[in-house]
Amino acid sequence: SEALRARMEERLLGARFRYLNERLYTSSSREAAQLFRRDPEAFEIYHRGFARQLARWPQNPADCIVRYLRRRPASLVVADFGCGDCRVARSVPNRVHCFDLLPLCPRVTVCDMAQVPLEAESVDVGIFCLALMGTNLQEILEEANRVLKPGGTLLVAEVASRFRSLPSFLRAMAQLGFSCLHKDLSSSFFYLLEFTKSGAPRGRPGPGLQLRPCLYKRR
């Protein structure tokens, strides 16, 4: 019947989403870029699944980031690493550079966020909203450090259960030149962390930088 067919299709989409999601968390950013370049349909499936997961959350972390930006001057230049559907860029007056592996909307610059086409020290606010995904987080965060102005802001929103130890993550971030200004741990789903760029990376960060993959349950 139609209903059965629709249910089977739903199941299959869910399974493909969970598979792709796991791949993204367990590959380097280069491998992820390759995966989606070869199979653009996979990107679409990933995003449908992602949107469905987020719809179940009491709050979308991108909206918290929008509220944060609205409290600060609109003249600040923003870079959104792993921007998805550009929810942030569409909701603030700032100039926002949007980076992702494929374009869900026309304002996206397609690239691997480990290597973005921006000048050094050209950005006031960097954002990783549920986007710290590759196994090469050090390289990705070094790139964010490169493009941020000294004293610039880095906002990280990540699923709470990904952190093995928040203090050791923050120590690793400090090694990478980001000191934590504010932690918002009020949502049980995600942490919202505000950093300031205190300087250039100071060598290899500790193992606390590694986050657990965020695996979604079958429902």
Contact status: 83 vs ligand SAH (CB under 6 A):
yes
Contact status: 20 vs ligand SAH (CB under 6 A):
no
Interface residue with ligand SAH among 19, 31, 48, 50 (CB under 6 A) is 50
Residue pair 48/17 in contact by the 8 Å Cβ criterion = yes
Q: Tokens in use for 164?
A: 């093995």
Q: Is the Cβ of residue 8 or residue 51 nearer to ligand SAH in the bound state?
A: 51
Contact status: 49 vs ligand SAH (CB under 6 A):
no
Q: For the window 164-183, what string marks contact with ligand SAH as x by the rule CB under 6 A?
A: --------------------
Closest-CA residue to 196 (of 144, 130, 159): 144
Alpha carbon 89 to chain centroid, angstroms: 14
Judged by DSSP in three states, 137 sits in helix
CB of 5 to ligand SAH, least distance (A): 29
Residue pair 88/69 in contact by the 8 Å Cβ criterion = yes
Residue pair 147/81 in contact by the 8 Å Cβ criterion = no
Contact status: 82 vs ligand SAH (CB under 6 A):
yes
CB of 189 to ligand SAH, least distance (A): 12
Q: Is the Cβ of residue 42 or residue 166 nearer to ligand SAH in the bound state?
A: 42
Size of the site for ligand SAH (CB under 6 A): 20
Q: Tell me the pairing of strands 148-159 and 178-184.
A: unpaired
In angstroms, the CA 42 to CA 37 distance is 9
What residues between 113 and 152 interact with ligand SAH by CB under 6 A? Answer: 113, 129-131, 133-134
Q: Is the Cβ of residue 118 or residue 133 nearer to ligand SAH in the bound state?
A: 133
With vertex at residue 52, the alpha carbon angle to CA 210 and CA 191, rounded to the nearest 5 degrees, is 35
CB of 2 to ligand SAH, least distance (A): 32
**Taking contact as CB under 6 A, which single stretch among the options 93-101, 118-126, 147-155, 189-197 is the one that binds ligand SAH?**
93-101
Interface residue with ligand SAH among 99, 169, 178, 190 (CB under 6 A) is 99
Q: Tokens in use for 131?
A: 């986007």
Residue pair 110/100 in contact by the 8 Å Cβ criterion = yes
CB neighbours of 53 closer than 8 A, spacing ≥ 6?
A: 216
Contact status: 100 vs ligand SAH (CB under 6 A):
yes
Residues that bind ligand SAH (CB under 6 A): 24, 29, 32-33, 50, 62, 82-84, 87, 99-101, 112-113, 129-131, 133-134
